[in-house]
Amino acid sequence: MTTHLLPPAPPVERPRVLLVATSFAAAASFMLFVAALGVYLLARTEVIATGSAWLPQGVVIPLPQPNTIFMTLLLSVVTIQWAVNAIAHNDRQNAFLAFGLTLAMGAASIVMTTYLWTLMKLDVAGGVQGVLIYTITAGHMIMLIVAMVFVALMALRALGGQFDSRQHDGVTAAAIYWHTMVFVYALIWIIIYVTK
Amino acid sequence: MAITETREETGTDLAVASPLVPAPVSFLGTGEHTVVGVVYILASILFGVAGLVGWALTGIHGATGSFLSDSVAEQVFQTSALGLVLLVLVPLFLGIGTYVVPLQVGARTIAFPRAAAAGLWTWLLSSGLFIVAASIDGGFGGGRPEAVSLGLLSVLGLILALLLGTVCVLSTAIGLRAPGMTLDRVPMTTFALLAGGAVWVLTLPVLAANLLLMWVDLRYGDGSLSGSQGQFAQVAWILQQPQIYAFVVPGLGIVADVVATFTGTRLERRGLFLVGIGAFAVLGIGAWAQPVLFPDASEQLVWQVISVAQVLPVLLLLGGLATALRKGRPALRGALGLALVSMLVLLLAVVAGALLAITPLDLRGSGSAEVGQFALVVAAGLTMAAAGVAYWSPKMTGRMPSDAPAKLGTPLMLVGGVLAGASLVVAGFETKFSGIADLLDALTWISVVGAGILALGLVLALLGLLSGTRHGAAEAGADAWGTGQTLEWKYASPPGDHVLGDLPVVHSPEPLLDEEA
């Protein structure tokens, strides 16, 4: 039996597995919405090709609420990056303020989305439009909730002193997922709400 | 420990032997990558046997026309086909990757062990629900809406679980490599899992989106989005080229590692192997070619070019393997036989795929040739996985396995794969050659026999693995075959909880050969 002995390595900085894993998870989430939006666009094209309107009669999708949600989420991109920057500079006070604002904006977006659903008066059983719009927007809401839980967990770990200027991968990872979530909403905003 | 954390590395120099699968209590709660990997492997082999039996049953129905009712036969066929991918091929390679990748890259654990364990249990639970739903008329297009709803959710669970496990393996391969192990120096199996796993991460969510929309439509909508007859058509793209190739990409790395070890040589022009595996993976991205979304996808030039181009990476890899065999001194091991046979079956599969792309041949008309090509790819993947199981079984069990099952399995997998798939590809020529139309029943029977032989080959792979646990088997050393090149052969067999004290420095893709030199 041969025993192999390789020379020991010097102590190394272990790489950022959480960032890598989050990037893959973000890519997977993104692809899910790309696929769903692809089905949406195809279905809409087919309906319009028959000479009908895409939205059923009586259904109106107002624009102010989606605009407000989009602007809120765009602002949250700034606040989550503010949190990353603050942690990177050991500025804990600003970090917690930024975490709090990010979560508050996420919660506000959820409230506004549910309000938007009540305004649309779109019946999920009324046709393909309801299934597609509710699945995609509810799916995004779930992604937003996941991102909020991720941010909240990392905020709690930051509160516990686990992150500082030398090691703040968790916060950066949460920010990556948050940015992806907002980018997905940008696609939804354009495809479902603006070009309806 | 949070699910997002990776265990602190507190290695010792001691390796503690552990059984193939530990006692039930520790087995249920463990996040140990060795246990998680072995459970994936054992369960997916058993599912594989069941899936091939289901495949054979539908073949018998096709030949006799009266063995099952048409609706049952259709559901069994669809369940078996989807199961052979999501319950067998992907988890089998994921299990091998979960076990081997941390060892190959010099990590002491998989990244996010709790997440990897959560993925395993979610997959097992979803597999059970998938089978239950299918057995109560809840397959695609089934007659009981509640059961169909359960079936769709179970496939969503399968995808979620497999993605979770894949992300853990990919994170390990990228983030926990030993110093000096750049991406072009990672072992072939790890590289192939990286390439294939990345494609899974990008394409399985597309399938999940399809299923989610179908489920909402079925549960809350009016059924206008897919309709019961359209459900399987909406997911069938993962069983067709080019997507089906993505599920066997990790097998290419296994074959390369097996050949390198048993020829005792470094793989020459390693870069070409990496390019070949990478190209095969990239060409296997098939989410864009969904027949439901793009009914004429297979009529598009890009689809046809990709189908033909898929032959090139396989030829490139075969050339590299032939060079290794010519320049090395091949040891006549069962794993080597399985590895070489798997490449021959894969070559048949990609050639069949290229024939499918040639419109004048009209092979896409009947559907038989597409099913046959799917069977060839599955057979190639199963044979690659069997080679991997035979190759790493000393590492898994700590004892030298009997080589007889793998040696016996080599011709069986070749014959079974060719009979199961090629016969149906030939049947696809019925519109071109009048004589073939008279032979359809015989060709279907040949395919049934092939599926049965493949199932037998899988049973032999399982027996080969278990033979390492028998009393009296010789103990396997760290480098069980004596010609190991990659880091997993540096660890004790089986590896304990903390396999290494100091991280090794890697200077080439074959660190153990560097040490011997």
Q: Which of B339, B395, B333 is nearest to B38 (CA)?
A: B395
Q: Are B31 and B117 in contact (CB under 8 A)?
A: yes
- Output the CA torsion B97→B103→B107→B110 (10° steps): 30
Q: Which of B259, B254, B266 is nearest to B481 (CA)?
A: B259
Cα B392 to the center of its chain, rounded Å: 16
Residues of chain A positioned with their CB less than 8 A from the CB of B293: 38-39, 42
Beta pairing partners, B455: none
User: pLDDT 10s per residue in chain A (196 long)?
Assistant: 455 555 555 444 455 899 999 999 999 999 999 999 999 999 999 899 999 899 988 888 999 999 999 999 999 999 999 999 999 999 999 999 999 999 999 999 999 999 999 999 898 888 899 999 999 999 999 999 999 999 999 999 998 888 888 888 999 999 999 999 999 999 999 999 999 7
Nearest Cβ partner of B201 from A19, A28, A35? A28
How far is the alpha carbon of A120 from chain B, nearest alpha carbon, in Å? 17
Contacts of A111 (CB under 8 A, 6+ apart): none
- Copy the structure tokens of residue B63: 């030949």
B65-71 — which CB contacts under 8 Å span 24+ positions? Answer: B71/B143
Q: Which residues of B348-371 are buried (b: 16+ CB within 10 A; e: fewer)?
A: bbbbbbbbbbeeeeebbebebbbb
Q: Look up the CATH architecture of domain A30-194.
A: Up-down Bundle (1.20)
Distance between CA atoms of B19 and B469, rounded to whole angstroms?
Answer: 8
Residue B490 to residue A6, Cβ atoms within 8 A: yes
Nearest Cβ partner of B175 from A10, A20, A29? A20
Q: Are B162 and B208 in contact (CB under 8 A)?
A: no
Beta pairing partners, B475: B399
Q: Which residue of A has its CA nearest to B9?
A: A14
Confidence (pLDDT) at B25? 58
Distance between CA atoms of A10 and A50, rounded to whole angstroms?
Answer: 69
For every residue of B492-514, DSSP letters joined together read: -SS--SS--SSPBP--SS-HHHH
How far is the alpha carbon of B181 from chain A, nearest alpha carbon, in Å? 12
**CA R_g for chain A:** 21
- In the numeric block, the tokens 């927007």 are attached to A137
Domain boundaries, chain A: 30-194
Q: How many CB atoms lie within 10 A of CB B191?
A: 28
Residue A16 to residue B6, Cβ atoms within 8 A: no
Contacts of A120 (CB under 8 A, 6+ apart): A59, A60, A61, A62, A133
User: pLDDT 10s per residue in chain B (517 long)?
Assistant: 455 555 444 443 334 444 666 666 566 778 889 999 999 999 999 999 999 999 999 999 988 888 888 888 888 999 999 999 999 999 999 999 999 999 999 887 899 999 999 999 999 999 999 999 999 988 887 888 899 999 999 999 999 999 999 999 999 999 999 889 999 999 999 999 999 999 999 999 999 999 999 999 999 988 877 755 578 888 899 999 899 999 999 999 999 999 999 999 999 889 999 999 999 999 999 998 887 677 788 888 999 999 999 999 999 999 999 999 999 999 999 999 999 999 999 999 999 999 999 988 888 877 899 999 999 999 999 999 999 999 999 999 999 999 999 999 999 999 999 999 999 999 999 888 888 888 888 999 999 999 999 999 999 999 999 998 888 888 888 999 999 999 999 888 888 755 555 667 888 889 888 877 6
Beta pairing partners, A8: B504
Distance between CA atoms of B76 and B56, rounded to whole angstroms?
Answer: 10
Nearest Cβ partner of A12 from B213, B490, B503? B503
Q: Which residue of B has its CA nearest to A132?
A: B213
How far is the alpha carbon of B112 from chain A, nearest alpha carbon, in Å? 9
Q: Are A65 and A112 in contact (CB under 8 A)?
A: yes
Q: Are B454 and B420 in contact (CB under 8 A)?
A: yes
Residue A9 to residue B4, Cβ atoms within 8 A: no
Q: Are B269 and B320 in contact (CB under 8 A)?
A: yes
Q: Can you list the positions of beta strands (E) in A129-191?
A: none
For helices B311-327 and B301-309, what crossing angle results, to 10°? 10
Q: Global pTM?
A: 0.92
Domains and CATH numbers, chain B: 26-499+508-512 (1.20.210.10)
